[in-house]
Structure 1
Amino acid sequence: MHPNEELITKFYSAFQNKDGVTMSSCYDPEATFSDPAFTDLKGKEVGAMWQMLVERGQNLSIRFSNVKADDQTGSADWEADYSFSKTGRMVYNRIHAEFTFQNGKIKSHKDSFSLWKWAGMAMGPVGYLFGWLPMIQNKIRTEANTGLALYMKRKRIS
């Protein structure tokens, strides 16, 4: 197995174990992360986001597959089942991840999934009906980033 495949496997295994500290250790200090909700995280924000998600993840269950990597890039598919903390509604999310690497760490990480489908599961009928609207998606992004900022302040991560 390529060392970067081992790194991706370590990352998702830590996610399965709700070990945000180990997940964070897989990233370069200057790493970037993006997904449909958290669009432009950098540095310590990246690790803090995972730590926040594993702490809040009620009934969190993670599965991953199709791990591939070489010296420069990698990818994986993963699935998450959890209760969304704001509504208590069950979410099943299928995600494709793309990575770049530097010095044995993740340098960039981009997750892709349907924010509209996620909104429908997390928010119920309102999400299904209106989750495709830019106004609703921007509200989801704003709430996600505000939640991360509050989490980092509470945990004194700067």
Structure 2
Amino acid sequence: MNANEELIQKFYTAFQNKDGQTMVSLYHPEIQFEDPAFGKLTGKEAGAMWLMLLERSQNLTIRFSNIKANDTEGSANWEADYSFSKTGRLVQNKIQAKFTFKDGKIIQHKDQFSMWKWLGMAMGPIGYLLGWWPALGNKVKKEAITGLQLYMKRKRM
């Protein structure tokens, strides 16, 4: 396993252990994160998102596999099982992650998953029926960003 594969492994092992501080420490200060739920986050926002998610998680289980990396980029597959806080519904999200590295840290991290499938699991029948509609995805993203901003303000980040 090369250094960047070890970096990804350490990131997801910390995630499994609900160790947000270690996760944040593996991010470059200029980190750029992106996923369908939060959109694009940079710098402290990206780290704060993981801290917030871990703090709010009740029954989070993380699995990861297929870690690959070279000197500049890498990838992994990971799965998250948890209850969505707003509905209590069980979510089993399968994510493909891509990474770019700089100075021994993760500088870009992009998670990809089906927002339609996620909405269906998180919100039930209404999510399955309307999950394809961009307005619903945008509403979820806006709520996620607002929640993150409030969290960062409360934690004085």
Interval containing the TM-score (normalised by the shorter chain): over 0.9
Distance 1:58 1:94 in 2: 19
* Partner Cα separation in structure 2 for residue 55 and residue 129 of structure 1: 30
The runs of 4+ residues in structure 1 deviating greater than 2 Å are none
Aligned partner of 1:77 in structure 2 is: 77
For residues 3-18 of structure 1, the aligned pairs below 5 Å read 3-18=3-18
Q: Deviations over 1:42-70 (max 9, x none)?
A: 00001000011111112100000000011
Counterpart of 2:148, as a letter, is L
- Checking the alignment, whether the CA contact within 8 Å between 1:58 and 1:84 is kept in structure 2 is no
Q: Which runs of 5+ in 2 are unaligned?
A: none
CA–CA separation in structure 2 for the residues paired with 1:56 and 1:49:
11
Tell whether 2:104 aligns with 1:119.
no
For 1:142, the equivalent position in structure 2 comes to 142
**Equivalence for 1:60:** 60
Whether contact under 8 Å (1:29, 1:44) holds in the other structure is: yes
Counterparts of 1:6 and 1:86, CA distance in 2: 35
Tell me the CA shift for residue 132 of structure 1: 1.0
Deviation readout 1:125-153 (Å, 9 max, x if unpaired): 11010011011010011011111001101
Please name the residue that 2:20 is paired with. 20
Unaligned segments of structure 1, at least 5 residues: none
Q: Tell me, in whole angstroms, the C-alpha distance in 2 between the residues paired with 1:154 and 1:131.
A: 31
| Equivalences, count | 157
Q: 1:130 matched to which residue of 2?
A: 130
Structure 2 distance, partners of 1:156, 1:84, is 25
For the residues of structure 2 that align with 1:114 and 1:58, how far apart are their CA atoms?
Answer: 23
CA RMSD of aligned residues (A): 0.5
C-alpha distance in 1 between matches for 2:115 and 2:27: 25
